[in-house]
Structure 1
Amino acid sequence: MTDNSKACFYALATALLWSTIATAFKIALKYLDPWRLVFWSVATSTTLLTIIVMIQGKAGLVVSQFKQSSGLFLALGLLNPFLYHVALFGAYDLLPAQQAQALNYSWPMALTLLAVPLLCKKLSLTSLLCCLLAYGGVLLICTRGEFESLNFASPIGVILALSSTIIWALYWLLNTRREGDPVVGLLICFLCGLPWIIAATALFSDFWPIASEGLAAAAYVGLIEMGFAYILWLKALKLADNTAMVSNISYLSPFLSLIFIANILGESIYPATYAGLIMIIVAVLAQQHLSRK
């Protein structure tokens, strides 16, 4: 098997894992509030990443990489895992899974818009049209196609979902400034974010008692969304000659996710969800093509 074939395999595996996450979120939120879900999933992921770093013999890099960019890591840890997952899980708690997961895929458009004030980038007419197309898809999904009534399932849920895209875009922009091993870097971010999560959970919720079903779902989220999927994705990018091809494979994930949402959660998928999601993905792919050019 060639490196490109391996890269495609890892990318497909990652897309499959990602496609289960929206369903896992909703199952977990049946038993846990968003604060508890953040704590237990991040605690699980931090444990997994620590074990992986130790097995790879890179434990010594944790201190050295943190010392090189301590301020940056503290900011990154505040954004992700803390603020990002608080907003994301809050959105899933209030919205149907099909809406929350589709809105989350609009984050590259948030990145495009944030690059204007933060990186002094110019917003071209084509990029602006891509943003309008994507956020037209967002509006279509949020209103289930009922533009005239602007009937949102949960306005607060929509705000949280879109806020999570802004937080993730900020995290991505800051993350490009750090150097070193990516898995070690992610572990440091989680270690820096964990004190915020512990404090917030103690303040707004509690840690125990917890239903075994909720704990299992939170562990799944921590192991998959914040752990194995990330590592497989890094492998795919490392092996691929053409990262654009690998990136495009990842956009199978939201459509596969709708299959799990419909069959496991029992949600009726609105036609507007499919149409809006296609608008978002087309806009993101077009923007990526423009960026590469």
Structure 2
Amino acid sequence: MPTRADLLALAAIALWASLAALGVTLAHVPPFLLTGLGLLVGSLLALPLSRFRLRAWAVPPATLALGVYGLFGFHLLLFSALRTAPALQVNLVNYLWPLGMVVLAPLMLPGLRWQAAQLAAALLGFAGAAVVILGGAGTGAGNGRGVLAGGWHAGYALALGSAFVWSTYSLALRRVPAFPTSAVGSFAAVSGVLSLACHAAWEPAVQLSPRDLALIAALGLGPLGGAFFLWDAALKAGDPRRIGLLAFLTPLLSTAVVLAVTGQALSTSLVLGGLMIVAAAAWGSRATTVRR
């Protein structure tokens, strides 16, 4: 039976699933500009959550630093990796973060232990994600494009860093003093400003159309806004190892959405990877429940 934390995590994952499709549509917008504007729009969701009381956004400096480390650090490393290495491999390495949550949870959070079934399920989930990403190379899903390229690229280390940042950020939310989920708005606002600073420093200026602005608003309300609030609430309420296993659904749903938007046929790799991911999530979740 899904728990409240499961449902919150699945809602965040459903919003993240739209990121690739929106990214394909907005591919002409420089990534840091897109992220910065999206995060600033997303931060506004904290207003109704806090009943329009800005003091509810206030958190200790260490907590704010953690939020900026997660939201800004993740995107900085990921976009830097995409600028220096083949996007397909970068995306695959980046999706080590759900596996990182399962592996690192007992090291970062007291009271949790490694379970062989959960580790095996996490590896199965990552294998399923690899099948989905590699099989969807031509769809544009999840930043995947082109074919696998040989050789080592420094961008792979950056992609591994982005995976490490998101997994440790997600776990560390349980280690800082309690704060209202609305305070995630301050994480997004500061990260958005820093992203726009990166845009000004590294990217060319572009003219945005009214359609671009509308899609960026949708991006901010969904995968670059609402998803972060839901993710925070889920991690506060549930077992991070179980939530990490559910996160392997993200590349699966993302690829499926892109296929639907672009009118492409369902692929064998998507079906096979999907079965592996669902099996991993069910296996790992059952292991957590039995352990409890």
TM-score, length of structure 2 as denominator length: 0.69
Aligned mate of 2:216, from 195, 215, 218: 218
Partner of 1:125: 116
Q: CA deviation at 1:172?
A: 0.7
What SS does the aligned partner of 2:260 have? helix
Matches within 5 A, 1:16-35: 17-29=15-27, 31-35=28-32
AA aligned opposite 1:182: T
| SS of corresponding position for 2:208 | coil
**Could you tell me whether the CA contact under 8 Å between 1:107 and 1:168 is conserved in 2?**
yes
Q: 1:168 aligns with which of 163, 166, 190?
A: 166
**Using the alignment, how far apart are the partners of 2:13 and 2:69 within structure 1?**
26
Seen in structure 2, the aligned counterparts of structure 1 residues 7 and 73 have a Cα distance that, compared at 3 Å, is closer
- Give the structure 1 partner of residue 135 of structure 2: 144
State the 1:221 CA deviation.
0.7
User: In the TM superposition, what are the counterparts of 1:186-201 in structure 2 within 5 Å?
Assistant: 186-201=184-199
- How far apart, in 2, do the equivalents of 1:257 and 1:199 lie? 28
SS at match of 2:207: coil
Aligned residues: 272
User: Which residue pairs with 1:107 in the alignment?
Assistant: 97
* Post-superposition offset of 1:182: 0.7
Q: State whether residues 106 and 280 of structure 1, in contact with CA within 8 Å, keep that contact through their aligned partners in structure 2.
A: no
Picking from 68, 71, 92, the partner of 1:77 is: 68
Give the % identical residues: 23
Structure 2 gaps of 5+ residues are 137-146
Please state which structure has a larger fraction of its residues in helix: 1
Amino acid at match of 1:74: A
User: Given that residues 99 and 245 in structure 2 are in contact (C-alpha distance below 8 angstroms), is that contact kept between their aligned partners in structure 1?
Assistant: no
Distance in 1, matches of 2:207 and 2:106, equals 46
Higher deviation after alignment, 86-95 or 278-287: 86-95
Map of 2:282 onto structure 1:
285
Q: Could you tell me which of 41, 61, 70 is aligned with 1:44?
A: 41
Secondary structure in 2 aligned to 1:199? helix
Would the aligned equivalents of 2:30 and 2:199 in 1 still touch at CA under 8 Å? Answer: no
Deviation at 1:14, TM superposition (A): 6.2
1:198 to partner: Cα distance? 2.8
Query: Aligned pair in 2 of structure 1 residues 197, 234: CA closer, same or farther (>3 Å)?
Result: closer
Q: Deviations over 1:189-248 (max 9, x none)?
A: 12332343232222211454334443332221111123345567789999x9xxxx9999
* One-letter amino acid matched to 1:61: A
Report 1:6-21 matches (<5 A).
17-21=15-19
The answer (yes or no) to whether the contact 2:121–2:280 under 8 Å persists in 1 is: yes
* Cα offset, 1:10, TM superposition: 8.3
RMSD over aligned CA atoms reads 4.6
Do the aligned partners of residues 191 and 43 (structure 1) sit closer, same or farther apart at CA in structure 2, a change above 3 Å counting? closer
Residue 270 (1) aligns with residue 261 (2): no
Partner of 2:258: 261
Contact preservation (8 Å) 1:24, 1:221: yes
Which is worse superposed, 189-198 or 247-256?
Answer: 247-256
Measured after TM superposition, the shift of residue 152 of structure 1 is 2.2
Scaled by the length of structure 1, the TM-score of the pair is 0.69
The AA in structure 2 aligned to 1:52 is P
Query: One-letter code of the match for 2:127?
Result: G
Q: Judge which range, 197-206 or 224-233, deviates more.
A: 224-233
Provide closer, same or farther for how the CA distance between residues 264 and 90 of structure 1 changes in structure 2, counting only shifts above 3 A.
farther
Q: CA deviation at 1:111?
A: 0.5
> SS of the counterpart of 2:26?
helix
Is the 2:129–2:273 Cα contact (8 Å) retained in structure 1?
Answer: yes
User: 1:141 corresponds to which letter in structure 2?
Assistant: V
Residue of structure 2 equivalent to 1:148: none
| Unaligned 5+ runs, structure 1 | 146-150
Q: Which amino acid aligns with 2:125?
A: A
1:53–1:59: 8 Å Cα contact kept in structure 2?
no
